[in-house]
Every structure is written in structure tokens, then in C-alpha cells.
Structure 1
Amino acid sequence: MVDILVNDIIPILVIMILGYLCGKFYFFDDDQRQGLNKLVLNIALPAALFISIVKATREMFVKDIVLTLISIVGVTGLFMLSYWLDKVMFHRTTQEAAVCALIAGSPTIGFLGFAVLDPIYGNNATTNLVIGIVSIVVNAITIPIGLALVNKGQANDRKNAGQTDEKTGEVVTAPVTDKEYKVLKNEKGIEREIDLMRAEIRNHEGRAKKEPNNSFGEAVLNALKQPVAWAPLLAVVLVLVGIHIPSSWAPSFDLISKANSGVAVLAAGLALSTVKFSIDKESLWNTFYRLILTPAVIVIAAYLCGMGSDPSKISMLVLATGLPPAFSGIIISSRYNIYVKEGASSVALSTIGFAASCIFWIWFLPVIANLFH
């Protein structure tokens, strides 16, 4: 445990703090931060996912089918549960609950997946397969669902604009347009959009001009067009059909993929430096849901589905799904001026709290495993 803390967790925190300080002292300008983000999401991460998954075999996929199903059903189901609970517990609108689900219900597997799991479990095919599967689910399923729900909520608000809400007695107003948002931003000093994370939301929204009217199918299609989604899917297809990438090709992918972890953690620190946050009941709940409740459900599901014989895979899956929030949520929050304060607070608290929750799960999972042996 001490070795993991000193050799794995502390370096991540140090680099993240370095990124935070760089952001606070404006060491990187907007274009440079945008460039770092694109490097991670469009080049380094897709290369890392692709080369790590193609090293697997069809036998591994068959053997890990339970892990795959738990990842797909678990991550998607917990995303929708977060959405529903936010509507029930905090009386949020459809679009607010959707942004909450993108924050509390989706891990930032792209930024921190390799940085956290590889040092602890080693850079092997199983670890990378877990990261690849969770990455596909987040990028190709939950984020498009979130965008579709945001668009649905906004469409309903536009339809009902001018009517009186039966519960509150207030007049419903339509959400602000892009032009109105820019005016508000200038006149009222609304905090600037998070430049570091802006590219990620573009990856999932695509460049469609009619964002508010995008259907779920269009949102999925736009997500699948991005390298972070299609690269791991292509690798999975190649493995399943039995096409092997020559080993001589690996160094070309490895060289750029090695940049992923360090740059991604630095980028996460930069992202935190751009948000102001406060502590309230909702942000605490979102942090608990992301770091404690989600991995706890995954642990229970894994043992109920017979994965108890391989506790190391359970541990990998728990840490992969128990990472801090996907930055897509706060980007969408800033872009649409929805759930901004609560979203920023939840992202900041969860990222800080992950240092403690990561250590907790690394310690607690072997205790659980011993109970089943």
C-alpha cells in the first residue's frame, strides 16, 4: 500500500498540482491549452487505446465477456440512475439532471484511465482492455445520451416558454441562445468557458449546426466519428475477425501513446484551475455517487456475476469506473449555461477526493477478496 501511494498516487497528484499552478499563473494561453487537450483526446489516447486492445486475442474477449457486460450495463445504468435521482432528490429539470448525470455518472477515463491503472496494475493487455471497454461506453453511449437529454429538455422549455409552471407559479422562459449567451457573458461577467475542456465536447457534439435538434442517433454518430471512440472499436473488430497488427508497428503507436498519461494529468490540473467551486449538499452527493456509490455497485455486480475468482480484474474495473467525473459534463454545463455552479463544484470536489477514494478502494478490495476465499 505504501509503495502504491508513493510510486503511483503521489506522482499523479504532483503533476495535477503542477497543472493547476500553471493554469492559475497563466503559464499556458488558451490556444496552448486547447492544443494539449487535442493532443490527449485526438492523438495520444486513441493511439494508446488502439495499440493496447489489438494486443488482445479473441480468447481474452470471450473470457472477459462478463467484464464487458458489467461495464456496458453498469456504467450506462448508473448514468441513468444518477439522472433519475437528481430529478427526484433535487427537483432538477431534464437538462440539469442530464448534465448532472454526465458529471456524477461518467468517469474521466480518457484523461486519467491509463495514468491511474497502468502504474498500479501494469501496462498489460487486461488492464488496457478494461480501459478500452469503459472508454467506449463513456464516449459512444453515455455522452450521446446526455446530449440527447439536454436537447430534449431545451426543446420542451422552448415549447412551453411563456406558460406558467403549475408547481412554482413562475413563467417558464426559453433557454438562452448562443447570441444571448455571449451577451450575458460580456454584460454580467459569467465565468469564461473552460478552454482546456472545450475540445472534448466538440468531439461529442461534432460540428453540426443544429445542436438543439440533434436526435440521439445523430449524437451517437457524431461521437463515433471521433478518434477516441472509433479507434478502440476498430481495434476490437480487428481482434474479433482475427487480423493481427505486425509487432513492428507497435513502436510507432507506443511512442505517441506514452505521452497520454502525463499530459492528461497535467491537463486535468489545468482544468481545475479554471473553475470556482463551493461545497453544498448536491455537490457532496455527486462526489459520493461518483467516487463511492458507483464503484460499490460495480463491486457487488462483479461478485454476483461470478468474477470473484479474479479479484485483480474487479479491482481494475472498480478504479476505472470510480475515476473523477468526465470533463464532458462541465463543458456542456458551461456551453449551455446549465448546472454551472453545481457542476464545477462536483468536478472539483470529486477530483480532489479521488486521492482518498483511490487509496480506500486499493486497500478495501483485497479485504473483500479474502472474504470469498
Structure 2
Amino acid sequence: MEKIIVVDIVPIIVIMALGYVCGKFRYFDDDQRQGLNKVVLDIALPAALFISIVKATRSMLAQDAVLTILGFVGIIVMFMLSYFLCRLMFKHNIQEAAVCALIAGSPTIGFLGFAVLDPIYGNTVSTNLVIAIISIVVNAVTIPIGMYLINLGQSKDNREAALAAANNARTNTAQKHADVAVDPSKDPSKDKNAEIMVGTSSNKGKASHHKIKNPNIAALVNALEQPVCWAPLLAIVLVLIGIRIPDQVAPTFDLIAKANSGVAVLAAGLALSTVKFSLGWETIWNTIYRLLITPAAFLGVGLLCGMGHDITKLSMLVLSVALPPAFSGIIISSRYNIYVKEGASTTAVSTVAFAVTCLLWIWLVPKF
């Protein structure tokens, strides 16, 4: 256990601290910081997700139906519960709650899954199965859902802003007509500037003619256009139809995928340096939800579903969902400048606290 803390947890904290120091001393400017986020979110992370998922097989998913169903349903339920609780308890809008769910509701299974579970339970078929299932759900389901909600929230905000602008324009027009009635010299039809404004407005209307009308479809299309969404979805389709990626191709993806974890943690530290660190109730709640409530829910449901006869597999499942927040969440947060303060604080606190809660769950689960 000491080896896990020293080899896996400490490097994360050190690299995150390095990113924080670099940000504080302005070693990276805003454009460079956004460039790092873009490299991770659009290139390295999609490659890492794709290659990790295509290594799974249909037989692995069918090997243990209870574990597969519990993994798929449980992760999605806890993700959506985090989203709704964030909106209810802390009054955040749609996109803020979506990023909160990507952080508080999703474990960093792709980064720490093998690093934590293999030393404890061994590199076995059962270990690979648990990690594969949770990884597929987190990467191929919750990330697209989160991106869809972010786009949906932004579309809603844009519509409300456009409606408010239209209302203001109508109010101004009514006021101008009233002014003309009093003083005909103020007629806007004689104002050249007014003609320019009308012309500009007409051009904008033509530019938006081809946009998708339905906000839900538009948000879905926008989400699916992101590599971080379509790459894992493509991978899971390949797994389900039984197409295997040749082993000779894997190193190509692995080379860029290896940049994902280190740069993502560094970028998380940079994001944290741009905001005032917060150890408020929301950060504490997100940490408790990620490290205690989620694994406790999986433990309870797992026992009810009869997994108590294989306590090792149940313990692996509980520990896999008790990992710190997925770093993809903080990268998305920083990229879109949404929920940055709370997200970065939650990631930092949860990563440090995991050194304690990890020991707790390893000791507690066998007691049942």
C-alpha cells in the first residue's frame, strides 16, 4: 500500500503542484495554457480512450453479466445524480452542473485504474474486466453525455441572450418612435448610421439560416463532433461488432496517449493557479461524493445483487469507482472556462484525500 501512495499518488500531487507553480510564475501565458488543454482534449485523450477501450472484447463484457450491468448502470446513475444534486444544492446552471458531474461523478479509471488495482489484486482477467467495464462507461458514455449537456446549456444561454437583446431592441425602437412623434427630426430612417446597423443585422440573420433549429439535436451534433466523444464511441462499436485492432497499430496510439496523463495533471495545476483555491462546502461535498458516497452505493448494490460470494471482485469494483476525479473533467472545465474554481479545487483535494480513503475501502469491503 505504501508503494501505491509513493508510486501513484505522490507523482500526481507533485506534477499538479508543478503546474500550479508554473501558472503562478506565469511560465505559460493564456494562449499556451489553452494550447495544452487542446492537445490533451482533442488529441492525446481521444487516443488514450480509443486504445484502452479497443483492447476489451465482447467475451470480457459477457463474462460476468452482473458486474457489467452494475458497472454500466451504476456509473451513469451516479453521474446523473451528481448533476442533479449540483443544480439543486448549489444552484448551478446546466453546463456548470455537467462539468461537476464529469469531475465528482467520474473516476480517473484510465489513469489510475491499473496503477492502483494491479499491485493489490494482481494483473488478472478479473482485474482487467473491472477496469475495462468502468473505463468504457466513463469514457464512452459519461463524457459524451457531459459534452451534450454543456452544449445544451450554452445553446440555452445563447437563446436567452438573443431574446433579451431582441426585447431591448424592441424597447429602443418603441422609444425612438415615441421620440419621433415629439420631434420628427429624430426619424431613424434619415440616419445613415441606422442604415448601416440594419444592413449588418440582416447579414447576421443570413449567416444563422443554416443552423440546426432543435436545440437538443444541435447540442448532440456539437458534442459528437468533438474527438473526445466520437473516439471512444467508435472504439466501443468496434468492440461490439468484434473488430480487433492489429497489435502493430497500438504503439502509434500509445505514443501520443502516454502524453495524456502527465500533461492533463500539469494542466489541472495550471487551471488551479488561475483561480483562488476554495475549500468551501461545495469542494468538500464533491470530494465526499467522489471518494465515499459513490463507492458506498456500489458496495451496497453489489451485495444486494449477490456479489458477496466473490468479495475480491466486489472489492475491485468498489475501489475502481472510489478513485479520484477523472482528469478529463478538469481539462474540459479549463478548455471551456466552466466550473474551473470548484473543479480544480475538487480535483486537488480528492487526489490528496484518496491516499486515506483508498486504505479505508481496502480494509472495509472484506468485512462484509
TM-score by length of 2: 0.72
Paired residue for 2:152?
Answer: 148
Paired residue for 1:241?
Answer: 241
Which has the larger share of helix? 2
Q: Partner amino acid for 2:29?
A: D
State yes or no: 1:311 paired with 2:314.
yes
Shift of 1:150: 5.6
Paired residue for 2:358?
Answer: 362
Task: Spell out the pairing of 1:287-298 with structure 2 (5 A cutoff).
Answer: 287-298=287-298
Aligned residues of 2:72 and 2:133 also touching (Cα < 8 A): no
- 1:268 and 1:118 map into 2 onto residues whose CA distance is 21
State yes or no: 1:117 paired with 2:113.
yes
Describe the superposition over 1:152-185 as per-residue Cα deviations: whole angstroms up to 9, x where unpaired: 477568769999xxxxxxxxxxxxxxxxxxxxxx
Unaligned runs of 5+ in 2: 168-207
Shift of 1:357: 3.2
- 2:107 and 2:26 map into 1 onto residues whose CA distance is 21
With over 3 angstroms needed to count, the CA separation of the structure-2 counterparts of 1:245 and 1:330, relative to structure 1, is closer
- Greater C-alpha Rg: 2
Paired residue for 1:188?
Answer: none
SS in 2 for 1:107: helix
With over 3 angstroms needed to count, the CA separation of the structure-2 counterparts of 1:153 and 1:212, relative to structure 1, is farther
SS in 2 for 1:59: helix
With over 3 angstroms needed to count, the CA separation of the structure-2 counterparts of 1:227 and 1:344, relative to structure 1, is closer
TM-score by length of 1: 0.71
Shift of 1:82: 3.6
Aligned identity (percent) is 43
Shift of 1:67: 4.4
- 1:10 and 1:82 map into 2 onto residues whose CA distance is 27
SS in 2 for 1:369: helix
Shift of 1:7: 1.0
Shift of 1:59: 0.6
Paired residue for 1:34?
Answer: 34
Paired residue for 2:7?
Answer: 7
- 1:361 and 1:23 map into 2 onto residues whose CA distance is 29
- 1:284 and 1:213 map into 2 onto residues whose CA distance is 40
Aligned residues of 2:23 and 2:270 also touching (Cα < 8 A): yes
Q: Which residue, out of 346, 349, 364, partners 2:345?
A: 349
With over 3 angstroms needed to count, the CA separation of the structure-2 counterparts of 1:78 and 1:146, relative to structure 1, is farther
Aligned residues of 1:58 and 1:242 also touching (Cα < 8 A): yes
Unaligned runs of 5+ in 1: 164-207, 336-342
Aligned positions, number: 317
Paired residue for 1:174?
Answer: none
Shift of 1:292: 3.1
Q: Partner amino acid for 2:257?
A: S
With over 3 angstroms needed to count, the CA separation of the structure-2 counterparts of 1:56 and 1:368, relative to structure 1, is same
Paired residue for 1:276?
Answer: 276
- 1:110 and 1:267 map into 2 onto residues whose CA distance is 18
Shift of 1:60: 0.5
Task: Spell out the pairing of 1:148-187 with structure 2 (5 A cutoff).
Answer: 148-149=152-153, 151-152=155-156, 155=159
Shift of 1:10: 0.4
- 1:110 and 1:293 map into 2 onto residues whose CA distance is 12
- 2:30 and 2:224 map into 1 onto residues whose CA distance is 27
Shift of 1:228: 1.6
With over 3 angstroms needed to count, the CA separation of the structure-2 counterparts of 1:153 and 1:85, relative to structure 1, is farther
Aligned residues of 2:238 and 2:244 also touching (Cα < 8 A): yes
Q: Partner amino acid for 2:32?
A: Q
Task: Spell out the pairing of 1:210-229 with structure 2 (5 A cutoff).
Answer: 215-229=215-229
SS in 1 for 2:103: coil
Describe the superposition over 1:19-57 as per-residue Cα deviations: whole angstroms up to 9, x where unpaired: 111111111223322222222222222222222222222
With over 3 angstroms needed to count, the CA separation of the structure-2 counterparts of 1:297 and 1:26, relative to structure 1, is same
- Deviant stretches of 4+, over 6 Å: 108-111, 156-163, 208-214
